[in-house]
Structure 1
Amino acid sequence: MKSSIKIVAGNASRPLAEAIAAYLEKPLAVCSVRRFADMEIFVELQENVRGEDVYIVQSTSFPANDHLMELLIMIDAARRSSARRITAVIPYFGYARQDRRTSGRTPISAKLVANLITEAGADRVMTLDLHAGQIQGFFDIPTDNLFAAPVMVRDIKERMDPADMMVVSPDVGGVVRARALAKRIDAPLAIVDKRRDRPGESEVMNIIGEVEGRSCILVDDIVDSGGTLVNAAEALLAKGAKDVSAYITHGVLSGGAVSRIASSKLKELVITDSIQPTAAVKLARNIRVVTIAPLLGEAIGRTADESSVSSLFA
């Protein structure tokens, strides 16, 4: 059945889509995505997809609204071209942090985006390390939430001494994610207890766990402003940690985040290419990108063959 796969790249994730296609030994489908003079998006699939299994690879990263609209139009184009099944492969699912109402008269934007993708014509969604697992339930179509943990575990084992590793959750909310990775590498767990006074800023309050003499690995799903990571690294080093690295799935890195991390005491920040790295990220002295193309490629191949995807993470 793999012969019927068509991989279509959106502008947000073209290098990643090319790597996925190479892993599957398939050429990228020829698709034109351009804009009219008033910046309206126009999509044209330039090869036959009738009866095919179409996978549209597009992160809804910055600029999130443009990339989301592009994804919706690409789904509509595939549906109107009689694709047999359309899977939206969204390595980074934007708006995921708006997964609940935090105060009165506010939206649940993640649910709205799920509705838009479904109504556009997607038959399935594949994403990576959702900010909140319950977002899977926002979709009324099958949704596969993949995990970057196997990629990160492999990298950690190749580069670090397991004898003195300590996995650290940068906040209480990320404990489940950090514990899962700590279990995979057989390392103890510590927690940073922090208080956030306003969006984009955080204050480290306390370290729960004995980190003295340890190589600490901060684990999270998203790094945006970088403030939490920088503050956590300083607090861990103040408590006697030998060094501090961070493994984060989605490198949003908005505003001055890259320079903030480059000038910090972090030994290294490792992110995936779920979001296409900027030139500044590529030049930063202590930021490294690992690819998730083989992971997504394997998941796509298994989905096309109707075989198990969850066994990838067993």
Structure 2
Amino acid sequence: MRTNNEPKLIAGNANKSLAKAVARRMSMHRGMNVGLVDARVERFNDGEIFVEVFENVRGEDMFIIQPTSNPANDNLMELLIIADALRRSSAGRITAVIPYFGYARQDRRTKARTPITAKLVANMLVEAGVERVLTMDLHATQIQGFFDIPVDNLYASPIFALDIAHHFKDRMDELMVVSPDVGGVARARELAKRIDSPLSIVDKRREKPGEVAEMTVIGDVKDKVCLIVDDLCDTAGTLCKAAEHLMEQGAKEVHSYITHGVLSGPAVGRISNSVMKSLVITDTIEATPAVKQAENIRIVPTAPIFAQAILNTWNGTSVSSLFDLQTLGPIYEGLYTQD
């Protein structure tokens, strides 16, 4: 339900660039300055996190912008402590805007005596005082059910569809959307429907975690411009091998659209030296200098969709309306100008 006050944003240290971009977009929409609440998020010498909010937030509709990316534990603790500080300061409602939801890969017990850490994180967020969660492309959509509070999961596929329509406008009939594994078929199919493209699957068999023993392409990719679609890329080993295999099967070009560019360890080097012509990621995770300097990595903004989703949440209007290109297109107007 909409409150009488304007929405207020506060950010941790995980992705200040995105938080400031969201504030700028909201300022454009509201026709007034929307800034980040003045606060400090610091560490004691032993690494403990301390938060102090310098503005009155009593009764306010608060939105904490904080992805739980690397360092995941520090950023998660910042989020929890900010939420606790706001709750103890009598904030009216606390929404956690988590562009990248860390620990989402631990969503089930894969072996005996292993945790379901995504559920544990959900419990901690609720206990800290979070009353609503806004995120993007959860690794496993069932994580929404781990919460007993509302969860809005935005999708990057409409943004990617706009990007593809702009950058491949003269080659749309050559495109082939590729899922890098069987588990990601639903995500790839969603994008394929949006751009009216066929779908292919790379089926992989692992000997052990992180190592692929064999790959098989399901579908004819010969002379196609392949677009690999996934929710996250960590070390990029599997992604680069999938691109190589597609080229071996006769693909004309390989590009990748990945929502969350975790890109840890040797990832950037692998991508720079791979057969992929481009890797497109969003800014849900703040890019490192190496990522920004990589010639074949391109970053698309999520601030427009997050700003509108925050305003819709504050207004009590539909967030799912943002999945429609007719709604999303005007929000990204100027970034993807159609001829």
Place the TM-score, normalised by the shorter chain, in its bin: over 0.9
**Candidates 263, 267, 270, aligned match of 1:260:** 270
* 2:137 is equivalent to residue 129 of structure 1: yes
Q: Secondary structure at the match of 1:113?
A: helix
What aligned pairs does 1:290-309 form with structure 2 within 5 A after superposition?
A: 290-309=300-319
Aligned length: 314
Partners of 2:266 and 2:191 in 1: how far apart? 29
Give, in angstroms, the shift of residue 201 of structure 1.
2.1
Partners of 1:35 and 1:17 in 2: how far apart? 20
Q: Could you list the runs of 4 or more consecutive aligned residues of structure 1 that deviate by over 3 angstroms after TM superposition?
A: none
* 2:164 is equivalent to residue 162 of structure 1: no
Give, in angstroms, the shift of residue 3 of structure 1.
4.9
Query: Residue type matched to 1:144 in 2?
Result: D
Partners of 2:100 and 2:213 in 1: how far apart? 27
User: Hey, what does 1:246 align to over in structure 2?
Assistant: 256
Q: CA RMSD in A?
A: 1.0
Query: Residue type matched to 2:138 in 1?
Result: L
Contact 2:62 2:93 in 1 (8 A): yes
Gaps of 5+ in 1: none
Q: Report the CA distance shift for 1:2/1:210 in structure 2 as closer, same or farther (over 3 A).
A: farther
Give, in angstroms, the shift of residue 2 of structure 1.
8.2
Query: Residue type matched to 1:58 in 2?
Result: Q
Give, in angstroms, the shift of residue 246 of structure 1.
0.2
User: Hey, what does 2:114 align to over in structure 1?
Assistant: 106
* 2:194 is equivalent to residue 192 of structure 1: no
Give, in angstroms, the shift of residue 71 of structure 1.
0.4
What TM-score do the two structures reach when normalised by structure 1?
A: 0.98
Query: Residue type matched to 1:285 in 2?
Result: E
Partners of 1:93 and 1:286 in 2: how far apart? 25
Partners of 1:307 and 1:126 in 2: how far apart? 14
Contact 1:75 1:120 in 2 (8 A): yes
What TM-score do the two structures reach when normalised by structure 2?
A: 0.91
User: Hey, what does 1:138 align to over in structure 2?
Assistant: 146
The percent of aligned pairs where both chains have the same amino acid is 61
Partners of 1:245 and 1:183 in 2: how far apart? 18
Partners of 1:218 and 1:211 in 2: how far apart? 12
**Candidates 51, 54, 61, aligned match of 2:62:** 54
Which shows bigger deviation, 77-86 or 2-11? 2-11
Give, in angstroms, the shift of residue 140 of structure 1.
0.8
Partners of 2:268 and 2:207 in 1: how far apart? 22
* 2:285 is equivalent to residue 283 of structure 1: no
Partners of 2:5 and 2:282 in 1: how far apart? 28
User: Hey, what does 1:16 align to over in structure 2?
Assistant: 18
Query: Residue type matched to 1:8 in 2?
Result: I
Q: Secondary structure at the match of 1:197?
A: strand
Q: Secondary structure at the match of 2:209?
A: coil
Gaps of 5+ in 2: 28-33, 325-339
Q: Secondary structure at the match of 2:207?
A: coil
User: Hey, what does 1:177 align to over in structure 2?
Assistant: 187
Contact 1:204 1:235 in 2 (8 A): no
User: Hey, what does 2:235 align to over in structure 1?
Assistant: 225
Partners of 1:66 and 1:121 in 2: how far apart? 18
Q: Secondary structure at the match of 1:275?
A: coil
Partners of 1:93 and 1:233 in 2: how far apart? 26
Partners of 1:196 and 1:96 in 2: how far apart? 21
User: Hey, what does 2:157 align to over in structure 1?
Assistant: 149
Contact 1:12 1:276 in 2 (8 A): yes
Q: What per-residue deviation string (whole Å, max 9, x for no partner) do you get for residues 206-257 of structure 1?
A: 1111111110000000100101110110111011100000000000111111
Q: Secondary structure at the match of 2:176?
A: strand
